[in-house]
Structure 1
Amino acid sequence: MTIATAFFDRLGSGDVSGALDLTTPDFTWTVAGKPGQFALAGVYNRDSYLEMLARVARFLPTGPRVDITSVTVDSHREVIEAHVTAVSASGAQYDNALVYVFDLQGDKIKAAREYLDTIHASEIFVE
């Protein structure tokens, strides 16, 4: 298991605190897209990342299913390809391919960048 896959395992089991234990104090999470055009787009620090997860939970009340399809690892970076599915609060089907790039500092995650189909996601994540 890699640091990034352990992060997803902990998130998936509801252990958000445990997932954040795998990050540095100055951890950031970036969601691709233009703020104002996609509700979740932007850069989040540890505190605002928790707020973003709460927003995702409102949009996807039963949670997303993240199926990791590929993991690439080197000494400073891990890249995960995933297929994410869910049912939105309005009953719409969410089905998206994502790429996550994790920058590592030692055995911790310093930064993560999330790349996704923002057009499809903006149909689901509507405020």
Structure 2
Amino acid sequence: MPIATTFFDRLGSGDVSGALDLTTPDFTWTVAGKPGQFALAGVYDRDSYVEMLGRVGGFLSAGPRVDVTSVTADSEHEVIEAHVTAVSASGAQYDNALVYVFDLEGDKIKAVREYLDTIHASEVFVA
């Protein structure tokens, strides 16, 4: 099983610590978009990534549903296409197609870059 899908499985079950066990100490997660225009845009280290997940939890009280639709992998990268749906705390429907590029270092995740429709996301993830 690709490490990226294991990472998402652990996050989906609420096991953030277990997901982070799959990462390197200098792990980063980058969310596409311009800070100031999209509330979640930016580069996160391990600690700030956990904080960002908490912010997402505040926007999406039931959490997001991540359905992986394809995986492409080689020894250094895994690319995940996913369909993510949720309902915001205010009742807004979130329905977005995302691409995640995982950079691997050995059997660990070193970095992830998340690409999404930031206009739609900013309609749901208001600061």
TM class, shorter-chain normalised?
over 0.9
Q: Provide the secondary structure at the position in 1 that maps to 2:104.
A: strand
1:101 aligns with 2:91: no
AA matched with 1:19: A
Q: Give 2:17's aligned residue.
A: 17
Q: Give 1:39's aligned residue.
A: 39
Gaps of 5+ in 2: none
Q: 1: distance between equivalents of 2:17 and 2:100?
A: 20
Q: Give 1:56's aligned residue.
A: 56
Q: 2: distance between equivalents of 1:12 and 1:65?
A: 8
AA matched with 1:118: T
Equivalences for residues 79-98 of structure 1 within 5 A: 79-98=79-98
Ranges of 4+ aligned residues in structure 1 off by more than 3 Å: none
Output one character per residue of 1:8-46: Cα deviation in whole Å (capped at 9) or x when no partner.
000000000000000000000000000000000000000
Q: Give 1:112's aligned residue.
A: 112
Shift of 1:101: 0.1
Shift of 1:50: 0.4
Report the TM-score, using the length of structure 1 for normalisation: 1.00
Q: Give 2:67's aligned residue.
A: 67
Q: 2: distance between equivalents of 1:48 and 1:92?
A: 26
Q: 2: distance between equivalents of 1:64 and 1:101?
A: 19
Q: Provide the secondary structure at the position in 1 that maps to 2:17.
A: helix
Q: Percent identity?
A: 87
Q: Give 1:28's aligned residue.
A: 28
AA matched with 2:55: R
Report the TM-score, using the length of structure 2 for normalisation: 1.00
Q: 2: distance between equivalents of 1:126 and 1:49?
A: 18
Shift of 1:52: 0.2
